[in-house]
A = this chain, B = another copy of it.
Amino acid sequence: MGRHVEIPGLTLGAEDFEAARRNVAPHVYHTPLLTSRSLSEASGFDVRLKAEIFQRGGSYKVRGPLNVIAHLSEEERARGIICSSAGNHAQGVAIAAKLYGIEATVLMAENATRSKIAATEGYGAKVILHGSIWDEANEKALELVESHGYTYVHPFDDPRLIAGQGTLGLEVLDDWPDAEVVVIPIGGGGLISGNAMSLKSRKPDIRVFGVESSGAPAMKRSVESGELVILERVDTIIDGLRVKRVGANTASVVSRFVEEVVTLPDEQIFEALLWLMTRAKLVVEGAAAAPVGALLHRLVDAQPGSKVVCVLSGGNLDVEQLRGLRWN
């Protein structure tokens, strides 16, 4: 993979991210950048962990929707927002809506677990169960956009949302201006798109790496082929990484602003998850462990001693999944 892929598309600059920050920062935690001597020793880098696990709702997902809402007119806000998700995006949308005092509707498939429904309702959103898979729930959401005038909040490809997610990177550079490399998990690509651009808008020579599960390399293949690849099947049990297709915007941004997308199998990601629990005493979800796995398996091409940030994107570990893991 390299810079030979030229996909024109979305570019956001320093002023976009500063504006996003004014919209987002009053409502979120500036999460800590933790040092990890163990991980530094194990990887050979000087590693810090952006602990977004401590964010409201347990992941970065509240940042983007806050910026989307900030861009809505009074009339649009009065009609409310909608999304389809049974994961962190649902909670991010619900929390952001509550913070702005507007209504949120969340579509989930009928097999959504009771705990995820309760968590989203707990933040004040209205949950509607529809269909047997996400696509059906999402179709219903789009119908409701038509009939009720809700604003649809895309989980990763809306430029306003991407700008909001990118506020994380500004905090990283505030706390560690010397950071040289940032490693970020990729699902649909919203997090890495926002942050590759926000980081480079402030520090052009910083290097950004993305990490996917090798069972769902939709971004890697899209960037390599220069067009949006839709995977026929995905083979990962990790929620935040399980996507068949990334976004047109996010693929374009990653092609132009990310040094390399690396992949590793679920097994190595879960190994990193357990490593973080036993060594760093932090609870992370699968996607958040992927950058640490990439360091432990020497997939990030950087000089020994480099100042590296791993983004721990969320801590909403599915505890039933944890129970099934092999512990060494």
* Least Cβ–Cβ distance between A220 and chain B, in angstroms: 29
For A278, A281, A315, A317, the residue with the greatest tally of chain B CB atoms inside 10 Å of its CB is A281
Contact of A323 among B282, B283, B323 (CB under 8 A): B323
Contact between B327 and A53, CB atoms less than 8 A apart: no
Closest to A325 in B: B323
Closest to A316 in B: B278
The residues of B that contact A274 with a CB separation of less than 8 Å are 319
Contact of A278 among B277, B284, B319, B327 (CB under 8 A): B319
Contact of A282 among B58, B278, B281, B317 (CB under 8 A): B281
**Is A232 an interface residue when CB atoms closer than 8 A count as contact?**
no
**Is A54 an interface residue when CB atoms closer than 8 A count as contact?**
yes
User: Which residues of A (309-323) have their CB < 8 Å from a CB of B?
Assistant: 315, 317, 319-320, 322-323
Contact between A281 and B319, CB atoms less than 8 A apart: no
- Chain B proximity mask over A44-70: 1 for CB below 8 Å, otherwise 0: 000000000110001000000000000
* Least Cβ–Cβ distance between A118 and chain B, in angstroms: 11
The residues of B that contact A278 with a CB separation of less than 8 Å are 283, 317, 319
The residues of B that contact A281 with a CB separation of less than 8 Å are 53-54, 58, 282-284, 315
Main secondary structure of the interface of A (DSSP, over half): helix
The residues of B that contact A327 with a CB separation of less than 8 Å are 319-320, 323
* Least Cβ–Cβ distance between A57 and chain B, in angstroms: 11
In the complex, A54 Cα to B320 Cα: how many Å?
26
In the complex, A322 Cα to B282 Cα: how many Å?
15
Contact of A283 among B54, B58, B277, B319 (CB under 8 A): B277
- Chain B proximity mask over A285-328: 1 for CB below 8 Å, otherwise 0: 00000000000000000000000000000010101101100010
The residues of B that contact A277 with a CB separation of less than 8 Å are 283, 317, 319
* Least Cβ–Cβ distance between A321 and chain B, in angstroms: 10
The residues of B that contact A283 with a CB separation of less than 8 Å are 277-278, 281-283
In the complex, A296 Cα to B274 Cα: how many Å?
27
For A58, A274, A284, A320, the residue with the greatest tally of chain B CB atoms inside 10 Å of its CB is A58
* Least Cβ–Cβ distance between A26 and chain B, in angstroms: 16
In the complex, A277 Cα to B320 Cα: how many Å?
13
In the complex, A309 Cα to B53 Cα: how many Å?
22
With A278-B317, A320-B327 already in contact, 9 other A-B pairs whose C-beta atoms are closer than 8 Å:
A54-B281, A58-B281, A277-B317, A277-B319, A278-B283, A281-B282, A281-B284, A322-B322, A323-B327
Q: Which 6 A-B pairs have the closest CB atoms?
A: A281-B315, A281-B283, A53-B281, A319-B327, A277-B283, A283-B283
Residues in chain A within 8 A of chain B (CB atoms): 53-54, 58, 274, 277-278, 281-284, 315, 317, 319-320, 322-323, 327
Show 22 A/B contacts (Cβ-Cβ < 8 Å), sorted by A.
A53-B281, A54-B281, A58-B281, A274-B319, A277-B283, A277-B317, A277-B319, A278-B283, A278-B317, A278-B319, A281-B282, A281-B283, A281-B284, A281-B315, A282-B282, A282-B283, A283-B283, A319-B327, A320-B327, A322-B322, A323-B323, A323-B327
